[in-house]
Homo-oligomer: A and B are copies of this chain.
Amino acid sequence: MPARPGPVLPTATARGALRPADEAVIDGGLWAERRAVNERTSVPDGYQRLVDAGNLHNLRLAAGTTTGSYVNELPFLDSDVYKWLEAVSWQLGDPATDPELAARLDERVTEIVGLLRDAQEPDGYLQSYYQVVRPDRRWQELDWGHELYCAGHLIQAAVARVRATGRTELLEIARKFADHIDSVFGPGRRDAVCGHPEIETALVELFRVTGEPRYLDLARFFVDRRGHGTLPPGRFGAGYWQDHAPVREAEAVTGHAVRQLYLLAGVVDVYAETGDDTLLAAGERLWEEMVARKSYVTGGLGAHHSDEAFGDPFELPSERAYTETCAAIAAVHLSWRLLLATGRARYADHLERVLYNGFLSGVGLDGEHYSYCNPLQVREGHRPDAQGGDHGAFRVRWFTCACCPPNVMRLLASLPHAFAASDGAGGLLVHQYAPGRFAADDLGVRVATDYPWQGRVSVEILEAPSDERALTLRVPHWAGEGWRLSVNGLPQDLAAEEGWLRLARRWQPGDSVVLEVDVAPRLTAPPSRADALRGCVAVERGPLVYCAEAADQPDGTVLDDLRLNAGAPLRDSAETDAPGVAVAVRATGTGRLPAADGWWAYPPHEAASAAERAAGDVELTLIPYHLWGHRDQGTMRVWLPV
């Protein structure tokens, strides 16, 4: 069986502990719902958004098929078109897609491919901004020009179209551009890199679908030449675009989070196809530094608004978290690649955390409203119009710099691909839990579960070869010892090995494996160096981070003046009218009235707690963080003082 179409399909000779599964279908539960909305609303709507925002108009200007001014003069607008093409391609690769819709979407793609063909220069160059607005500056502004970045997204769209539909017309355009790039950059040619990584991972994928080693060489060249100061330092410093140190030597993630993560995805891809171990070591080292010191509990990444960047270690303010949706998506790209490369469960754990929290908060239940930033707190007195433009707004239709919405679409369209894997020895790993069918090397299973709302995961063997094969499940890291396993009804006394439960046997169709994970709500502490979170706890339940949103609390509750009673029990509650919430969590808190207002806010230490007065107990309701902001946008907190 050929591997299911999806991003990251290593070649047969590639290094890696795991390989993508041959079949991965999600047909129920939370992700099926979200993917259905993505298919039926987000993706079709995306075309109209690209029309309205001028992206297609700008390409027509480059093609010479229309006249007028370039709309929204930003150099990276083409990339939104490409991300949307990629999303459509993965969607068309899903045989469950509504055929009428598929035909309509394919028409749009054909239209845009034609447009791109018309816009492409005879030498292969293609980027509407430089063709229309600054034709004399082509390849002259690599720091902010985003030319190779856009090329990367074009290539990824072309790869998706080939893998998902077998159609090569977009690939021809992408190859022509890639060949042009290869003629300009590389050893003996220009020694330079793009301000925004992306081309690296794309070129490895292009190598994978074409077999052309020049593309892999060029990817490796771009990976290796970053960190040698070929870019100007710019207003945010060289670390902003990871040009301060070669990736093999870097000790910490720095700068713009999406740039850093796209770079690392490419680094792991180059490792996979070349076996260059220091690249994998760099990917693992930087991932670990990032996750242990610069990640929000939601998996969100990037603390700074001004440069969309990682902060210092443990600089994790809740209200001013940038935590861009695209950074979460990029973290999924990276952890998926690291999981394939190493087989380590922590990457699947991280993937889960990001998916259910920091990523999923970025798209509304209706599939038409997005958040660019995903902060963990909205304060009393918050001014939505004072958060740095539309990036600071929540649940909006589109952004001036769109970026996140089509990125959401391409991830949801290809999501099942990242739920299971082949162990490379004929076995199947199911590491993310959703109802559906998963198979590798003739070992096929059906998963039934109400995950993430409930912790029971039932796996039925659908088909199995006659020899011994391993079925491997993941014990989520948040579960600790709170799990049990049975096979055909018999409890199994099996130890988890670094997060994995590996069951090797001769499977029969009908065999049943049940993993039960304790998803009871629990309190989580912050790292001790995270000043912004000191004295607080978060409520988690299963893989979901919860939050308290004003709309769910008793009238008069002021979230910013509340203390959670950490000793009181947390209880599940199905009684909630919060949209999309299957299980809410109830907790008790105590209101604290701050001292009477004076002109100065900083009292003597000895008088401070005496001045605060208790204001009665409150029963609090918490909902999954990813569902916040679906009603009137009031205050919200993930971290609650105790």
Interface, chain A (partner B; CB < 8 A)? 233-240, 244, 252, 254-255, 288, 291-293, 295, 297, 303-307, 309-315, 317-320, 346, 349-350, 377, 379-383, 385-389, 400, 477, 480, 522-538, 560-561, 566, 592, 594-595, 597-609, 612, 639, 641
CB-based contact A602/B525 at 8 Å: yes
Number of copies: 2
Inter-chain contact B534/A380, CB cutoff 8 Å? no
Question: Across the interface, do B305 and A480 meet the contact criterion of CB distance under 8 Å?
Answer: no
Asked whether B239 lies within 8 Å of A385 as measured between CB atoms, the reply is yes
CA distance A288 to B599 in the complex (A): 6
Are A388 and B236 neighbours in the complex by a CB distance under 8 Å? Answer: yes
* Residue pair A317, B320 in contact (C-beta under 8 Å): yes
Q: Is there an interface contact between B306 and A592, defined as CB atoms closer than 8 Å?
A: no
Whether the pair A535, B534 counts as a contact (CB closer than 8 A) is yes
Contact: B528 with A612, CB < 8 Å? yes
CB distance from A497 to the nearest CB of B (A): 16
Cβ contact within 8 Å between A602 and B381: no
Nearest-Cβ distance from residue A320 to partner chain B, whole angstroms: 7
20 further contact pairs, Cβ within 8 A, besides A236-B389, A530-B601: A234-B389, A239-B383, A252-B381, A288-B599, A291-B599, A293-B601, A306-B388, A307-B388, A309-B386, A312-B383, A315-B319, A317-B320, A349-B600, A377-B531, A477-B600, A523-B604, A528-B595, A531-B639, A531-B641, A534-B536
What residues on B are CB-neighbors of A310 within 8 Å?
A: 386
* Residues on the B chain within 8 Å of A532, using CB: 317, 531-532
Please tell me if the beta carbons of B315 and A311 are within 8 angstroms of each other in the complex.
no
9 cross-chain pairs, A with B, having the tightest CB-CB distances, nearest first? A525-B608, A523-B605, A237-B385, A306-B306, A235-B389, A305-B306, A527-B601, A313-B381, A312-B379
Interface of A is mostly: loop
In the bound complex, residues from chain B placing their C-beta under 8 Å from that of A605 are 522-525, 537, 566
Task: Please indicate the chain B residues that have their CB under 8 angstroms from the CB of A377 in the complex.
Answer: 531
What CA separation (Å) do A240 and B387 show in the bound complex?
10
| Given known contacts A307-B386, A320-B320, A291 and B600 CB-to-CB distance under 8 angstroms | yes
A385 contacts B313, C-beta separation under 8 Å: no
A252 contact set on B, CB distance < 8 A:
381, 383
Assembled-state Cα–Cα distance A594/B314 (Å): 12
Q: Which of B238, B527, B536 contacts A385 (CB 8 A)?
A: B238
Given that A531-B532, A560-B529, A602-B527 are known contacts, is A312 also in contact with B319, CB under 8 Å in the complex?
A: yes
Q: Which of B238, B346, B382, B598 contacts A312 (CB 8 A)?
A: B382
A-B contacts, 21 of them at CB < 8 A, read A236-B388, A237-B383, A237-B387, A252-B381, A252-B383, A292-B597, A295-B601, A297-B602, A304-B305, A306-B388, A307-B386, A310-B386, A312-B382, A317-B531, A346-B600, A477-B600, A524-B603, A528-B595, A528-B612, A529-B561, A534-B534
A524: nearest chain-B partner, CB-CB:
B602
Partner of A602, one of B305, B319, B526: B526
Q: Which residues of B contact A601 (CB under 8 A)?
A: 291-293, 295, 314, 526-527, 530
A237-B314 contact in complex given A292-B599, A594-B528, A594-B529, C-beta closer than 8 Å: no
Most chain B Cβ neighbours within 10 Å, of A306, A385, A597: A306
From B388, B528, B560, give the contact of A314 (CB < 8 A): B560
Residues of chain B lying within 8 A (CB to CB) of residue A600? 291-292, 346, 349, 477
CB-CB < 8 A to A233: which residues of B? Answer: 385
Closest to A534 in B: B535
Give the distance in Å from the alpha carbon of A480 to the alpha carbon of B379 in the complex. Answer: 32
| Complex CA–CA separation, A35 to B236 (angstroms) | 34
Measured in the bound complex, the distance between the Cα atoms of B523 and A380 in whole Å is 27
Bound: A602/B526 CA distance, A: 5
